Structure 1
Amino acid sequence: MNKEIAPSPQKAALSNNQNTSSLLTDLRALFKAPVLIANVLPVFSGFWLALYFTGTSFIEHWPLFLLTMIGSTLVMAGALIINNWYDVDIDTIMDRTKHRPTVTGNISLKVVLAMGISLSIIGFIFLLFTTFEAVIYAFIGWFVYVVLYTMWSKRKYTLNTVIGSVSGAVTPLIGWTAIESGFHLVPIVLFLILFIFQMPHTFAIAMKKHKEYEAAKVAMLPVVYGFEMTKRQMVIYIACLLPLPFFLASLGTVFMVIATLINLGWLAVSISGFFTKDDMKWAQVNFLYSVNYITILFVMMVIVTLPIFN
């Protein structure tokens, strides 16, 4: 009679570690972790700047800060997960997305949809304990991304990038309005910076992955109108960023100078696209510049308003 041999404790532990690692990888892909983190930073910056301009203490408002950050993060995570659920057919075709758990089947689509809806609802509940205005902006971002972008425009119109950019641009308004009304020059300028930035940023990604978008029949600008049109639009959008730091003069000369320099640097990179022989390399440089650009800008807003600098 054959006896079943139990696995050694070492092999069992290794198997558990592999399963845990696989689950974490799947969740990271499902939540689109880099995108989520990139959207959380402007929420924090908006909250911090609202405290600064209203002369309010962070320590006094740390419970409100936690509610704002947790709530907005969950709402955004919910929207990103629903996007994964809806786009599973596209993700199956594209190389950069074919390892997502919705495609591999590691997490069922029913579970994914339930997660997306649940996290969104829980996030809105958290935000209800902040201000109604913060909830409004969070809902605008969620609705635009899930309904107007993911379910309506992404597959049909090149304007999908313009529409989708609204959802990312409202993030600092969520943080700001948890403290103060959004009818203030600073959060409006932050909205404009994020809205305009996302256009060339997304176009750079679309150029890099244009063959995949074409195969998936997603109406991205480089796919429909080609690289030359995309390059021209990138230059125009980046040029539109140039005057915006001057509307944030209240953040100080150091901020305005650095922001202007990195704007000019990005404009120079974008103009060089008309003379490049390697569009893919140029698009990659543009993408990396855009990621560092927005990170530096929003981190710098916090740094220059720290008490030690004032």
Structure 2
Amino acid sequence: MFKQYLLLAKPGILFGNFVTTLGGFFLASQGHIDIPLLLLTLIGTTLVVASGCVFNNIIDQDIDPKMARTQNRALVKKTISPVAAFIYASIIGVIGFILLYIFSGIYAFCFAALGFIVYVIVYSLWSKRQSIHQTVIGSISGASPPVIGYTAVSHEFDVAALLIFLAYSIWQMPHSWGIAIYRLDDYQRACVPILPVARSVLRTKIECLIYVILFTLVLNGLYCFGYTNVFFLITFNGLCVYWIYLSLIGFKVKDDQQWAKRYFLYSIILITALSISFSFSYQSPAPHLPLF
């Protein structure tokens, strides 16, 4: 039964957000890691994200049976009741928010609340089913964890936090559309109006390329504003050049699904490598450029 509750919280998403929270924390720490603060921030963020994922499962009970990758979820198989799932989501969410508020600060708490509200209410309840812009809207929640990690250390929202928020939001688009092309049949059966379903695979590939380039340009701002060093400049742009290459060859492939699977997996590798590299990429002393 423990495994069912763990799977209900979507471990893959939890891992991704764990890694990006770590990246933001590393960047702001400038090599001086406060281990207790790091652990409490990671636990708090993971619990809030897990809560949002469980609420998403509750909301998606009607469409999950139509998709191969979601038809074995606990709520679909009725191994966990919706009431039990609701209580579970509420408890872990409250604990997560309390930890962030007490130990990580008001900025971390506010961005956790922003991500949670957007994911559960704006994305899950509305845009996922109604709008072609669902991925853009949902990207706000995906970009919140690295900002939580960053502001837990900095206790302010500065230029670096803004660049991280924008860049990780932009990253969500090619990342999400990659899996949408790979699982195109699933999304069509569930009538989810994600871009490749609502428009076309070709249109999606064009927008993926545009967003990868935007992601590269925006996050290079960390170096331009003096927050990161040459190590970041080289490693980050090397990773992005290959992602651009993958975007370009997508226009010539014969098997869109296999290309999309590779494209999606590389987006995970890139964001993981990027987040870890922040532990070596900081510029000390970092500039002080607060926004609020």
TM-score (norm 2): 0.91
Select which of 253, 257, 266 maps to 2:230. 253
**Aligned residues of 2:123 and 2:138 also touching (Cα < 8 A):** yes
Q: Corresponding residue for 1:164? A: 138
Partner Cα distance (2:170, 2:145) in 1: 14
Match of 2:210 among 233, 236, 239: 236
CA distance in 1, matches of 2:181, 2:40: 38
Pair member with larger Rg = 1
Residues 68 and 175 in structure 1, CA contact (< 8 A), matched pair in contact too: yes
Which position in structure 1 is the counterpart of 2:249? 272
Residue identity opposite 1:75 in structure 2: V
Per-residue CA deviations over 1:192-226 (Å, capped at 9, x if unaligned) read 22111110010011111111111111111111101
The one of 144, 161, 169 equivalent to 1:195 is: 169
Identity rate of aligned residues, in percent? 36
Q: How far apart in 2 are the matches of 1:111 and 1:269? A: 43
Q: Who is 2:71 aligned against? A: 98
Q: 1:152 is matched by which residue type in structure 2?
A: W
SS of corresponding position for 1:155: helix
Corresponding residue for 2:4?
Answer: 26
Distance 1:71 1:115 in 2: 15
Q: CA deviation at 1:164?
A: 0.5
What is the DSSP-based 3-state SS (H/G/I as helix, E as strand, rest coil) of the residue aligned with 1:241? helix
Moved more, 192-201 or 247-256: 247-256
Deviation at 1:245, TM superposition (A): 4.2
Per-residue Cα deviation, 1:35-80 (whole angstroms, up to 9, x for no partner): 111001121222222221xx7x43xx43333322221111111001
Unaligned runs of 5+ in 1: 1-22
1:45 maps to 23
Runs of 4+ in 1 over 3 A off after TM superposition: 303-307
Number of aligned residues = 280
The correspondence for 2:90, drawn from 81, 98, 117, is 117
Residue 278 of structure 1, CA deviation: 1.2
Output the aligned Cα RMSD: 1.8
Asked if 2 retains the 8 angstrom alpha-carbon contact of 1:67 and 1:129, the reply is no
- TM superposition shift of 1:263: 0.8
Q: Is the 8 A contact 1:182 1:188 kept in 2?
A: no
3-state SS of paired residue (1:96): coil
C-alpha distance in 1 between matches for 2:279 and 2:35: 16
Distance in 2, Cα, partners of 1:64 & 1:245: 25
Q: Which gives a bigger RCO, structure 1 or 2 (Cα 8 Å, sep 6+)?
A: 2
Gaps of 5+ in 2: 285-292
- Between the aligned partners of 1:33 and 1:100, the Cα distance in structure 2 is 13
Deviation (angstroms), 1:231 = 0.8
TM-score normalised over the length of structure 1: 0.86
CA distance in 1, matches of 2:3, 2:40: 27
